[in-house]
Amino acid sequence: MDLAASTIVVTGASAGLGRRFSRDLVAAGARVFGLARRTGRLDALAEELGDAFTGIECDVADETSVDNAFERIVEESGQVNALINNAGFGRFGPIDEMSARDFDLLMKVNVRGVFLCSRRVVPVMRRQNDQSGFGGHIVNIASIAGLIGNPEIGAYNASKFGVRGLSESMFKELRGDGIKVTCLFPGSIETEFFDRADASMTSNPLTPEHISSTLVHVLETPENYLISEIVMRPLRPKG
C-alpha cells in the first residue's frame, strides 16, 4: 500500500502506541484519523501533526460512538484504506479478586471495540475492492497475552485470545474481498499502559518505535500478499 495516498484510522490514538503510530503514519504521508476518549490529548496531537491528523472523540466500546465516528470519517475522506485497532485496556490480578465490572470492561474495549470498528470499515473496503481490486488492511494489536496464558492476568488473557480468534476468522472471511487482516502480538512495551494497569513489566521492554516501524512495514507490503500474524518480543528481556 502506498501510505502517501492513504486514509488510515488509528484507535487509541491519544497515548502510547496509538500516538506513535499516528506520528509515523503522518510522516509517511498518510491522512490519519485518530480515535480516543481523551480529547485534550487528541487536540495536542492535532496541533503537533497539522492538517494530516484529525482527532475524533470516540469510545470504541460504544456502538453509537463508533458509528458516528466512522460516518464522519467516510464523509470527510471518502475512503478508509487501513484500520489500526489499537485501543486497549488492562486490569490484572488473581481471578478471585477480579471484579465482574473490570472483566466486562476488558471484553468491551479489547474485543467488542475491534468488532465494532471492523464492522464499520468492511463495507467501505469491499466497495474499494470492487473499484480498484484492493480493499484495504485491518491491523489488530493484540499481545503476547493472546498467545500464552499466565497467572493473574486471566481476564486480560481472555480478551487478547479473543482478538486473536476474531483476527483469524476475519482474515479467512475477508481475503476474498481483497482485505488484508494482520494480528500483531507484542511483548512488554515501554508505555504508560503498565502504569494504568498497575502491573510490572520486563526490565528491557520493546519501545513504541519498534512496534510502529513494524506496523509501517506491514502496511507498505505489496497488495498481492499478506502477513497474517507477527509476534514481537524483546531479545534480552532482562537487559
Question: Active-site residue numbers?
Answer: 156
Strands (E), 90-190: 136-141, 179-186
* Beta partners for residue 7, in sequence order: 31
For residues 92 and 95, what is the distance between their CA atoms, to the nearest angstrom? Answer: 9
Phi and psi at residue 141, in whole multiples of 5°? Answer: -90, 105
Q: Collapsing DSSP states into helix, strand and coil, what is residue 83?
A: strand
Q: By CB neighbour count within 10 A (0-12 exposed, 13-18 middle, 19+ buried), where does 227 fall? A: middle
Q: By CB neighbour count within 10 A (0-12 exposed, 13-18 middle, 19+ buried), where does 165 fall? A: middle
| Cβ contact 1:220 at 8 Å | yes
Please report how the helices 113-132 and 63-77 are oriented relative to each other, as an axis angle in degrees rounded to 10: 30
For residues 93 and 51, what is the distance between their CA atoms, to the nearest angstrom? Answer: 42
- Give me 39's grid cell: 480529547
Largest pairwise CA distance in the chain: 52
Q: How many whole angstroms from its chain centre is CA 62?
A: 16
- Give me 147's grid cell: 498467545
- Give me 78's grid cell: 471518502
